[in-house]
Amino acid sequence: MEFLYEYGLFLAKAITIVVAIAAVVIIILASAVKQKADKGELKLTNISDDLEKLKHDLKEELLTKKQFKAYEKSLKAEQKQKDKAEKKQTEPETTPRVFVIDFKGSIDAGEVASLREEISAILTIAEPNDEVVINVESGGGMVHGYGLASSQLDRLRSADIPLTICVDKVAASGGYMMACVANKIYAAPFAIVGSIGVVAQIPNFNRLLKKHDIDYEQHTAGDFKRTLTVFGENTDEGREKFQQELEETHVLFKAFIAKYRPELDIAKVATGEHWYGQQALELGLIDGLSTSDDVMMSLAKDKTVIKVRYQLKKKIADKIAHGASLCVNAVFNRMAEKNQPLS
C-alpha cells in the first residue's frame, strides 16, 4: 500500500509538471506567432423590443383571459391606426433612436479599443433626432488611456449628437474625465463621482540592493529622462521634477473639466476628493439622480433604444492558452486541497 501511495504521489507531481510546461510553451507560442490585427463583430440589441416583450409576458401572466384578450385587441387597433397614418404620409416618419453603450474601464482603459468601434458605427448611421447614452463604470487609471476615451466621446459632441452619461456605481478620476464630456450626467444616489486629482506612487528598492552589495546602473540622455526609479537612488531634484509633472497634469485635468462644465467651481471640486451622487448633484458635478435603468425606460416610451456592443474575437491560441492556464490552476488547487507537497 505504501508503494501505491508513493507511486500515486509521484504520478500526480509528474502530471502537474508536464501540464505546467505545456501551458508555458503554448503561452509563448501564442505571443510569438504573428497574426493579423484583432477583428471583432458589432452586436445590436433592441432594448425597446425586449421591454415590450416583457410587458406583454407580464400582462399575459397577471391578467385574466378576458382582460388579456381586450389588451391584445387594443394593441392591434393601435397598430392598425399607426399603419394608416404611415400610408397617408408622403415620407415615412422614422422613430428617434437612442444608442446605448456600456463602458466598464480598467486601469489602462484598454476597453477604448471597442469604444472607438462602437462610436464609429453610430456616427455612420446617426440621424438628427438620434442620441447616445453611455453607462460608465470606472475608478480611473492612466492619463493617456482615459484621455483617448474622452476624445472618443468628444467625437459625438462634435457631430452634434446629444450625449448622456449614466453612472450607477463609480465614475472617478479618468471615469469622470469621460463623464464630463456629456451634455447630461445622471448618477445613482450612492454612486461615487469626482476624484479630480492626480496620483502616482512607486516603490524603491535601492537600500535593499545596497544592503546585499548589488549594483544597479541606469544610463539616460537628458536631465529628466527618468525622475524617480524603482532600483536607482532617487534625488531631491528628481522628486521635485516628478511632483512638478503631477501638478502640470492636474492643471490640464482641471482645464479639461472646466471646458465641458464651465459652471463648476473648479477650486472646490478639483481637490482629489470623491463624492456620492447626492453630494455631486449639489456641487454641480452631475445633472440629476437616476439609475441607467430608469433613464433607458423613460427614453423607451417614445424612442427606439438600441444597445451597441463591439466584441473582439478571441484568437485560437489565446483560447488554448486560457484553457491550459485553467487546467494548471485546477491541478494546483486540487493539490493544495489535499495538502500534498509539490516537491
Write the CB contacts of 2 (distance below 8 Å, at least 6 apart in sequence). none
d(CA 334, CA 337): 5
- Residue 225 falls in the annotated catalytic set: yes
Residue 31's nearest CA partner among 258, 264, 315, 311 is: 315
**Cβ count near 278 (within 10 Å):** 15
Residue 232's nearest CA partner among 203, 259, 261, 258 is: 203
Active-site option among 225, 301, 338, 343: 225
CB 167, CB 191: distance < 8 Å = yes
Active-site option among 48, 150, 173, 292: 173
Grid coordinates 472607438 are at which residue? Answer: 116
d(CA 199, CA 176): 15
Between 65-88 and 47-62, two packed helices, what is the crossing angle to 10 degrees? 150
Catalytic residues: 173, 225
